[in-house]
A and B are shown apart, each in its own frame.
Chain A
């Protein structure tokens, strides 16, 4: 009973005290509290699930006998479940939670249509469970059941492994969430639109667009042979570069001035960075199709576009690093900003590795090795995951008007995640270069390459283990925050001292 009353108090807090300034923010937060907690709860659940599957997949690479007799845990199924739950589970739920909170806060008005968001986010998460079970159960359904699905089991496209029948459901659920975001944006009171809002709108629209292309050109009317491979790779690149990265950039643009209380250095260049990022990043992924059975000019376009990324990347690096370094000592004061600082470093490294990886001389060495996965994980874990984690700590304490239950747990999450991501990414990138050199640069037998890679796989396993410890710490923090009894201090509206309005400081 006590726990239930604590949850009720988390969901609908009663405040005392008087603060004109906070009143508006409290009513804004109150309008989305239930839905955002739903997104955050799912996000953290999927983070733990995906890293657990990532750990199993990583162990299997150096000890193939591990869980070897379970058909549904064979490497070819565990690996796609890791990627799909990481992207559609953790990064989408967390990215949307951060984005929606930014939309209502920057818009300055409480949001309506709560029912639409509740329904669509529930459908999204349930469909995701069904889709991932579809991967795991592939080939295991009884014959009579198998006929009732168009495809039984996974699809062979990167980040699209979930069975085809689930794609329209996920698309519909996303359109519901996207529509809610657009409606929340339209109801804004502050007419000035801040950079974070551009990126959120772009990402919402971009995912609806590329996922529709997938539904039409890969599922309903599949294109011929190799073109499916081309479309799959176009989708995966755009999912990373114009959906997940923009969600995370939106968070960075908001959090830096908000926490530091100073505008972003060189904010007036943000428009150029935004448009050039969307333009170049949306075409840059085809560089890795080099030498394959697709038209060779496609990869040349990708290489040119990848070099175009240098322009927005240099603007981002000047903006983020100058802003952060101007108040460097303050980074250690707040846990949120610490996550975001390392996220920014991760993003700049990701951009550099992405451009380096698209070079023809690099692909000559690293094609088909773990290098590309390492760079993708640098973007997904080193940038997006770090930034979203930081932002969620910031949102949660404001949404619930509670203090973090334990600073130590948050510290544990931060250090484990940072070290783990470093280990995973560096072992995949450096290991991939060595693997590629042996695989593409010599006729060394595959078995001796495997023997050579064992230490890198072990390092990746250690990294995954550390990230898992951090993620479990995050989950405990979240549960304690939600279930703890509200202390007297936490009922006052002035628990959280907000820095000056972002709109004032940014423009």
Chain B
């Protein structure tokens, strides 16, 4: 008993050093050496400032931008969470009904894709479905004074298919798409005297 207690104490110390300190620091070293950008969160910089991460969503509400999914935490990336609303909770139904009504005025006649009115699990979902992107093309085209064909091309540039043709779901990265839209608008305004 006493011998095993001593071993337990020594084992805790020795394994904490090996598994709790050496291992994660070694992995950090390797990751920073071989995958520096990915290991640091794929941050996007513009004019020397960080404007976001490629894989963390941001909120967009302006009509010239593609909108991200609703988020239970307003895209606070230091506080990830979902809504935790159950399927029969009246709060969920009210929220969805409100969003559906608002979205239908934007795009009358089309059924609303489900990811446009449901909150994501992380609250930071960087992506929307191609259906949700198609749903917004008309509005963005009018606001940006571009043709729908031009917008469709930009969307498809930022659409990722399934990995190896079958893993996961097709999806559109909202932040990258909106940055590309801004860039396109900037170039056009320079071309026009």
A, B bound: no
Show the binding face of B for A, using Cβ within 8 Å: none
